[in-house]
Amino acid sequence: MSAKWRATSRTVFFGIVLVILIAYTEIAFGMDWRTQAGRIGPGFFPRFIGVLGVVITLGALVNSLRPDVTVDELSLEDEVGEGDLGRHPVPLVLTIALSAVFLFTLTSLGAIISAAIFMIGLLSYLNRGRWVANIVLSVLVPLGMYLLFQTALNAGLPEGILPRF
């Protein structure tokens, strides 16, 4: 390769991931993207994920060929060090607990109410003191989820106690 472009171990990694994603995307395009009932089929999301993954990985592969890493950036990485992954156990446990509550209440309460409970619970801890924003997000995101999946994509969501949703 020329001095302008140089291959690194990151280039090899992104190349392997790109080949895997291209194979995944080819399999996804072999699947039906709509069912006979007019709903989205098993190939809809894999196609989307595959194409998006190929585009992102191709961009990362091209970016890994550029020799734009300077000595200062490398020394900064040494100064910062590795992240301490065990410093936030309370948010982790809270997220896992609320995810379990979401999972167990999804069919009985429905997608909208379960998502709202999950979001208000998590946001009340992570975004303390901003109750108006938390409540607005906890209502608008589940309604947006309903509009996207139930109305636009015609994919069924668990009704729960709100039968018209």
If one counts every other C-beta atom within 10 angstroms of the C-beta of residue 15, the result is 15
DSSP designation for 38: S
pLDDT for residue 71: 45
In this model, does residue 110 exceed pLDDT 80?
yes
Q: Which two tokens stand for residue 26?
A: 């080819």
Contacts of the segment 78-84: beta carbons below 8 A, 24+ positions apart: none
Do residues 18 and 54 make contact, with C-beta atoms less than 8 angstroms apart? yes
pLDDT tens string 26-51:
999 988 878 787 777 788 888 999 99
Closest CA to 115 of 92, 89, 150, 144: 144
Q: Using CA atoms, how far apart are residues 135 and 85, in angstroms rounded to an integer?
A: 30
37, 118, 123, 143 from 135: Cα distances, Å: 36, 11, 9, 12
pLDDT for residue 163: 67
> What mean pLDDT do residues 54-66 have?
91
Domain range summary for the chain, segments of one domain joined by +: 9-79, 89-152
pLDDT tens string 111-153:
889 999 999 999 999 888 899 999 999 999 999 988 888 787 7
In this model, does residue 22 exceed pLDDT 50?
yes
